[in-house]
């Protein structure tokens, strides 16, 4: 069975600081991996996705993620966060027709 | 591109009544739509998958007769919560995909259902 673990429930970072959100997955084959962001009371917006190829994936809003098969990880990074990045972040593993989501990481940005 | 809308965004109803939630793909034809439920501060749980013109496939534990899903066209899917009870109160989110848009689900903004 596929599963996703996001170890950090809540992370607080200062505006302008770097960010890394952790995601570990369990999947029987080459996974489809996704990061979504959810603002309060809103649906999910796709940040980036990995299907194959280059293990460093660039997404929107300056985010990137690196697929590490040996560690079963797909961590999300951003070199410098902005106050508008405060939201809930979800990692998900595919296949695309049956995504399994992690429990999410809430990101708080302090001035 | 790949915009999905939901209506209503927020609904309050009395216990025992039925509520219909619409999910529309605005700028693409969605061959498959998905319905999720999200409890406060929790992750999304897939309820069912629907393909246009076919009966929905429900996940284990989801009551088919309570959560009626219709996907009558390539741009519209509806979720009807029948005989709603307070425990059905939740945030319902739909998503859609199309072959031409890659293997990605695009999500709607969600509908907050409160059953009194």
pLDDT in the model for residue A41:
75
Whether residue A34 and residue B107 make contact (CB cut-off 8 A), yes or no, is no
**Closest residue by Cα to residue A96 from A7, A27, A38:** A27
pLDDT in the model for residue A59:
96
Q: Tell me the Ramachandran region of residue A62: left when phi exceeds 0, alpha when psi lies from -120 to 50, beta otherwise.
A: left
Whether residue A42 and residue B4 make contact (CB cut-off 8 A), yes or no, is no
CB atoms within 10 A of CB A40: 7
pLDDT digits (tens, 9 = 90+) for B44-71: 899 999 988 888 999 999 999 999 999 8
pLDDT digits (tens, 9 = 90+) for B13-27: 999 999 999 999 998
Chain A from 17 to 76: CB within 8 A of any B CB: 32, 34, 36, 41-46, 49, 51
Minimal CA separation from B99 to chain A, in Å: 11
**Token pair listed for B61:** 């534990």
pLDDT in the model for residue B22:
97
pLDDT at B106 over 80: yes
Average pLDDT, chain B: 91
Cα angle at B55 between A35 and B101, to 5 degrees?
35
Q: Which of B43, B97, B109 sits opposite A43 (nearest CB)?
A: B109
Cα–chain-centroid distance for residue B56?
Answer: 11
Q: Considering only CB atoms, which residues of chain B are within 8 Å of chain A?
A: 4, 6, 32, 41-44, 46, 49, 93, 95, 97, 103-110, 112
Minimal CA separation from B28 to chain A, in Å: 17
pLDDT in the model for residue B72:
82
**Under-70 pLDDT residues of chain A:** none
Q: Are A36 and A47 in contact (CB under 8 A)?
A: yes
**Closest residue by Cα to residue B96 from B44, B45, B50:** B50
Average pLDDT, chain A: 93
Q: Which of A46, A101, A102 sits opposite B104 (nearest CB)?
A: A46
Minimal CA separation from A91 to chain B, in Å: 10
Minimal CA separation from B15 to chain A, in Å: 23
pLDDT in the model for residue A89:
97
Percent of chain B with pLDDT over 90: 71
Nearest chain A residue to B40, by CA: A41
H-helix or E-strand containing A110? strand A105-110
pLDDT in the model for residue B103:
72
């Amino acid at each position: 069975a596929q599963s996703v673990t996001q170890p950090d429930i809540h992370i607080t970072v200062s505006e302008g600081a770097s960010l890394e959100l952790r995601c570990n997955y369990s999947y029987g084959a080459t996974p489809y991996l996704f990061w979504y962001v959810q603002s309060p009371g809103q649906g999910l917006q796709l940040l980036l996705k990995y299907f194959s190829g280059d293990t460093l994936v660039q997404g929107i809003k300056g985010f990137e993620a690196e697929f590490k098969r040996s560690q079963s990880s797909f961590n999300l990074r951003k070199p410098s966060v902005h106050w508008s990045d405060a939201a809930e972040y979800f990692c998900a593993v595919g296949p695309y027709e049956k995504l399994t989501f992690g429990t999410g990481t809430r990101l708080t940005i302090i001035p | 591109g790949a915009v999905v809308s939901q209506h209503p965004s927020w609904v309050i109803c009395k216990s025992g009544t039925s509520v219909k939630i619409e999910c529309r793909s605005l700028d693409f034809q969605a061959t498959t739509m998905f319905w999720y439920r999200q409890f406060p501060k929790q992750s999304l749980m897939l309820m069912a998958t629907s393909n246009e013109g076919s009966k929905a496939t429900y996940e284990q534990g989801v009551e088919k007769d309570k959560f009626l899903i219709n996907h009558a066209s390539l741009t519209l899917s509806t979720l009807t919560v029948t005989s709603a009870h307070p425990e059905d109160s939740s945030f319902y989110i739909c998503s859609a995909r199309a072959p031409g848009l890659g293997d990605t689900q695009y999500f709607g903004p969600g509908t907050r259902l409160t059953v009194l």
